[in-house]
Chain A
Amino acid sequence: MTDTVLIVDDSPSIRFSISTILSKTHLDAQTASSAEEALSLMQAGLRPHILITDLHMGPMDGVELIRQTRKIPGLQFIPILMLTTESHRAERQEAKDAGGTGWLVKPVDGLKLLQLVAQLAPES
């Protein structure tokens, strides 16, 4: 079965950009335009090997998506990266406390993102 990365962002250009970059990896990129849509996909059975989510989305934000994802069986330990324009320490801490794995500030360096994804979801 193909490994999957789920990209959650309300910006179409960000979803397109990240999924295009990650098409260079072994991962199959799926996208959601809101936290609610992502949660719905995962509750319906999608089991991404890595989750990349925006912070500011409405009504559910990225931190809450992390909390809800961690409650889903099989997704308690997957890498979850926050991809956001925010860079404040307090917000990073909040994402970490919610169960986040890492923090990426937009615009993220494409090659570094590829290295990070290869590190977090190595090809089996």
Chain B
Amino acid sequence: MKPRVDVLGAGLFAAAMAVAPLFLNAYQVDVLNSIGLYALLALGLNLILGEAGLFNMGHAAFYAMGAYTAAILNTRYQIPVLWTLPLSGAVAGAFALAVARPVVHLRGDYLLIVTIGVGEIVRIALVNDVFGITGGANGIFGIGRPRLFGLVIRRPEQFFYLIWGFVALTIFLFLRLKRSRFGRALNFLREDEVAAEGSGIDTAYYKLVVFGLGAAWAGMAGTLFAAKMTIISPESFSFWESVVLFMIVILGGAGSIPGVLLAAFLVVGLPELFREFAGARMLVFGLVMMVMMVVRPQGLWPARGRQKWLAVSGKALGP
């Protein structure tokens, strides 16, 4: 793939997205908003899971931390909801660091279950109204509408530009990160941890930082989610949400930003498209997920370069 084609494709996509709300109705724009939020979350998870190869199936926990931070600050202290963005990110990131510190060295699947556990513990804590500030199962309602440059954001197309603007910014930053020394160190660590350690990379440090960064992004996405819904409750941060994000990253092609975007469109968009099937819509969705993975095992739009880390450890078998 030539760089020029890359740029052209990205430009076309951006242009199409920029004018999309002009041609779509409120529902369709809102589907795009939902896709945008998942894209944002999945891009953060992609750092952890795709770039660094750390199995994280509890991303919803960090998403929840951000959403609740924003909601609590907004409803209790009347802080405008968008102002809480950096703080939500920081809280989610700090929480991730604290949690990841003792467990980040665990081998793949053990880390997977620990992150699932963290996700469940956070959800159960929210349901049980921990510290008396999360509102229990009711959640928190009456979150104020965000304001940007004096404009109150309330309609779907207004949220569209807020969310997708943030997605664009994220893509820009993460592309830079990927090409930086930090990004290369992550990939090295993912491909061969022992060799990385041997060439002087502090693997524990890199793993922690990337965990914190990915989680901070989930926290900020949480703020946008809280602002959009105006009510949040624990059921929005269930294990299922973590699973969906995990699927997006792997389906798209771990470590691939365009892949993650494409998969966000499919995983969030297809169930909407399948509304025609009524009760059978999730059945069709499950089947499509399976088939897509079987047809494109490397992901729909795999990252360039070698991806040895993903290979089966049992080595090659006959077909």
Q: Is B a genuine binding partner of A?
A: no
| A interface residues (Cβ-Cβ under 8 A, vs B) | none
